[in-house]
Copies of this chain bind each other. A is one copy, B any other.
Amino acid sequence: MDNPDRLLQATVLAIGDELILGQRLDTNSQWISEQLLLLGVRVVEHMTVADDARQIAGALAHLSQVAPLLVTTGGLGPTLDDLTRQALASALGESLVEDTQAMEWLDAWFETSKLPMPESNRVQTLRPASARVLPNTHGTAPGLAATLNQCEIFCLPGPPSEMRPMFERELHKICKAYSSQVRVATLKTVGLAEARIATKLAGLMRRENRVLVGTTASDGIISIRIRCEKRSDESLFEETFDQVRQKLGTYLYAESDASLPEHILGLLREHHATITTAESCTGGMLSASLTDCPGASDSYAGGWVTYTNSMKMSQLGVPERVIEEHGAVSAQCVEHMARGAQARAGTSHALAVSGIAGPDGGTADKPVGTVWIAHAWESDRMDARCFRFTGDRAQVRTRATTAALAMLRQNMLGIKDAPLLWQFNASP
């Protein structure tokens, strides 16, 4: 490479009617972009087009001028709507020729799989005259590599199980030379609004900085990503990282891409602690978020979804008068739920959630989005907080799940005076 500090750039093209019509989610482009970045190659543009030879050829011609590396997925199958090879030939101004090696691979594939080869598969042995075929160890569609406008084009099959091994074999070779250039880090916070973080990090987030800092928000979890693209900027990268960390304070929960439930299970494991859950409005989302993580059974005993008042009373021992006097969405009710669950499951911690997820059930006093959450630990420690979540039913439930885990984290780490996003000072 002429300039060792220049990051190689690339583009990604996904091909398929099912993608463009929204019938299938394209996960290949994300995977390829992520893998390329780890190899020190930055993707600068994604495109998706239909199984249409003219459109594919147009996209190849365009993207070959944007960056010196182009990876495409899809359109290499045996059926009439697979047109990537024809389009590549047309973009190159060449005709298709039969490749003897591809022919051998295909014969061997059907030999091994004991299936007769449909005539339609023959088309998979064709390549544009100047292209070379890439072996497919997991399916019948060989890939193609060619050079157009000084851009190296790699056409990979669409199914991830075939595309990924081919990418790893073919692209790693190409990218290896650049892989040491880039540094990327992710930090994660819970309980702070994105705009508050933006204010705290203002100077660091300027787009002209050599070390780039960006944020992404998702229901109370904000990810902060730090990136530098030149080896000479490494010390600046470290400095930026430290500054970001300091400014986030106690809201920072991970210096990695860990999910909040993963982090919480790690904390519980460290403290040799166990936990149970008692859920009303979240209806199992809190327990599902914990059990989503492998190894959850080390710390999570199980829990209750007490959706009706009678389940709250019969299964967790919430006194009827508490519900009569204060309602099911109250500090008193979630405190009884938490203590009842903790006693029955025999765990060191318990989280209880009760609220109004909507769309119905709101009142002037307790509008939709009002949720009480209690955290009980040891024999006598209790924290109950009220939240007013914005958003629809799914958001209120997701945000309540996050808030419950964030409360647990603050109490386990002894963090005080750090109100969480959406926390609301209701009189109990």
Contacts and interface: CB of A to CB of B under 8 A. Distances in A.
A202 B30 CA distance: 32
Given A80-B205, A198-B80, A202-B120, A23 B308 contact: no
Interface string A118-144: 111100000000000000001110000
Contacts of A281: 291
A176 interface: no
Contacts of A196: 118
Contact of A214 (B26, B81, B207, B397): B81
A38 to B, nearest CB: 9
Contact of A80 (B43, B45, B206, B422): B206
Best-surrounded residue of A14, A26, A55, A59 (most CB of chain B within 10 A):
A26
Interface stretch (A91-99, A262-270, A318-326, A385-393): A385-393
A390 B192 CA distance: 39
Contacts of A202: 80, 120
Contacts of A240: none
Interface in A211-234: 212, 214-219, 223, 225, 227
Contact of A395 (B19, B138, B207, B390): B138
Contacts of A207: 51, 80-81, 83
Interface in A305-347: 305-308, 310-311, 314-315, 344-346
A195 B121 contact: yes
Nearest to A393: B294
Interface stretch (A148-156, A296-304, A374-382, A410-418): A296-304
Given A119-B199, A287-B284, A288-B288, A392 B18 contact: no
17 contacts: A24-B30, A24-B216, A29-B48, A45-B48, A45-B55, A46-B47, A80-B205, A112-B390, A113-B388, A279-B284, A281-B291, A287-B307, A302-B305, A302-B308, A303-B307, A305-B305, A315-B344
Given A18-B214, A24-B216, A161-B391, 19 more contacts: A19-B46, A22-B37, A23-B216, A51-B207, A79-B198, A81-B205, A83-B207, A113-B388, A118-B196, A118-B198, A120-B199, A138-B392, A277-B305, A283-B290, A287-B307, A301-B308, A302-B306, A302-B311, A303-B305
Interface of A: 14, 16-27, 29-37, 42-51, 55, 59, 77-81, 83, 112-115, 118-121, 138-140, 159, 161, 165, 186, 193-196, 198-199, 202, 205-207, 212, 214-219, 223, 225, 227, 277, 279, 281-288, 290-292, 294-297, 300-308, 310-311, 314-315, 344-346, 358-360, 388, 390-395, 397, 422, 424
